């Protein structure tokens, strides 16, 4: 009976025990040890991602009237600067809007002269005060009409300098210059010289200079490890890019149980919008990177063997992430010591037998 009890105790010795091996034993069993690498970022996986353009970086240009394209100065994918003339247009509404400004300007000038003359006559009591009030009301109305016509002309594409020249020289500009409002690149040019364009149709789509987004649908387990406060490294084509979580959908996709996620990209990342590629996502977390052969599973525990001289000790560890050849272990100060890489099964058997 005593022998059976002793045997059971020997077989149930925990892997957290220690054993001592001679140099000869180490050589015979070819035991090798290596120091793990301390790292600051741990991968959560590699996933398919898409580079997209933030909506605030896209500018669509159109005109609120039917027009004819006189000249096209820029084409698809060209770089443009703010104020560059993209195209010359002409339209009857553009001409009519200028005529309205000229007519209102002339009428205002005429009534202002009348108001000045009548003011003097009223002061000398040559004409009644109501005549002065009447012409003053007309001047006020003329100013309102002129302001409205100038606002409409600006909406049609005129700038302040053009309007001032129009009022000064009273000469109509036959064409309107469609100018870029921003610095950027042309993504779409939807007009051709000599062709008519309809009101409010998208003539140019410009992407301004700025950082893109990286978007992906991540499994629930991976998404749960992310937060906006954690630093993130995204690795694409072996290049590490610093990033952060911008947005995560509050619900799961019922079809594939994933969560939509959006990450920031620095402007100098040189990743083009529309690119669809695999990316490794890593989060900031202190850990140790070790050879996968070092990690041993014993019942419900995961351990590695720490070597201190001739002494070998089984240390319980937590695996955060693993790939084909490596394991990321939760930080443990004991892992600064050399870790057995090969022949771990021999040590495991020895400890289990109580040797």
Per-residue pLDDT reduced to its tens digit, 182-213: 999 999 999 999 999 999 889 999 999 889 99
Least Cα distance to 207 among 183, 190, 235, 176 occurs for 183
Residue 58 pLDDT > 90, yes or no?
yes
Whether the model pTM is above 0.75: no
R_g over Cα of the chain: 39
Residue 39 pLDDT > 50, yes or no?
yes
What is the Cα–Cα distance from 45 to 93, expressed in whole angstroms?
58
What is the Cα–Cα distance from 208 to 271, expressed in whole angstroms?
15
Q: What are the tens digits of pLDDT across the range 120-135? A: 888 777 778 888 788 8
| Cβ burial, residue 303 (10 Å; 0-12/13-18/19+) | buried
Residue 93 pLDDT > 50, yes or no?
yes
What is the Cα–Cα distance from 89 to 55, expressed in whole angstroms?
27
Q: What are the tens digits of pLDDT across the range 169-186? A: 989 999 999 999 999 999
Residues 6+ positions from 298 with CB-CB distance below 8 Å: 15, 314, 348, 352
- Paired with 174 in beta bridges are none
Instruction: Give Cα separations from 69 to 85, 178, 187, 247 (angstroms).
Output: 13, 10, 19, 42
Mean residue pLDDT across the chain: 87
Predicted pLDDT at 351 = 67
Predicted pLDDT at 135 = 82
Q: What are the tens digits of pLDDT across the range 243-252? A: 999 999 999 9
Angle between helices 160-169 and 92-123 (to 10 degrees): 60
């Amino acid at each position: 009976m005593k022998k059976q009890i002793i045997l059971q105790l020997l077989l149930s010795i925990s892997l957290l025990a220690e054993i001592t091996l001679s140099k000869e034993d180490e050589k015979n069993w070819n035991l090798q040890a290596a120091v793990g690498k301390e790292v600051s970022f741990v991968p959560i996986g590699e996933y398919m991602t898409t580079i997209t353009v933030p909506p605030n970086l896209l500018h669509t240009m159109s005109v609120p009237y039917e027009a004819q394209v006189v000249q096209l100065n820029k084409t698809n994918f060209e770089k443009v600067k703010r104020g560059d003339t993209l195209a010359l247009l002409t339209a009857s509404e553009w001409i009519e809007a200028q005529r309205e400004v000229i007519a209102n300007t002339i009428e205002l000038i005429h009534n202002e002269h009348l108001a000045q003359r009548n003011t003097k006559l009223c002061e000398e009591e040559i004409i009644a005060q109501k005549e002065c009030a009447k012409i003053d009301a007309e001047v006020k109305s003329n100013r309102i009409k002129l302001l409205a016509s100038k606002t409409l002309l600006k909406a049609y594409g005129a700038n302040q300098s053009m309007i001032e020249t129009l009022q000064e020289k009273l000469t109509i500009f036959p064409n309107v210059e469609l100018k870029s409002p921003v610095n950027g690149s042309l993504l779409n040019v939807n007009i051709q010289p000599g062709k008519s364009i309809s009101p409010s149709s998208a003539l140019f789509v410009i992407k301004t200079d700025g950082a893109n987004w990286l978007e992906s649908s991540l499994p629930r387990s991976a998404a749960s490890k992310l937060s906006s406060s954690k630093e993130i490294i995204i690795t694409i084509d072996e290049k590490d890019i610093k990033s952060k979580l911008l947005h995560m959908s509050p619900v799961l996709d019922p079809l594939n149980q994933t969560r939509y996620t959006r990450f920031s990209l620095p402007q100098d990342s040189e990743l083009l919008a529309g690119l669809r590629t695999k990316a490794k996502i890593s989060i900031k977390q202190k850990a140790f990177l070790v050879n996968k052969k070092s990690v041993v599973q014993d019942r419900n525990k995961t351990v590695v063997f720490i070597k201190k001289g001739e002494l070998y000790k089984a240390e319980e560890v937590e695996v955060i992430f693993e790939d084909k050849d490596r394991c990321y272990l939760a930080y443990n100060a004991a892992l600064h010591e050399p870790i057995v890489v090969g022949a771990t099964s021999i040590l495991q058997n020895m400890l289990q037998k109580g040797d």
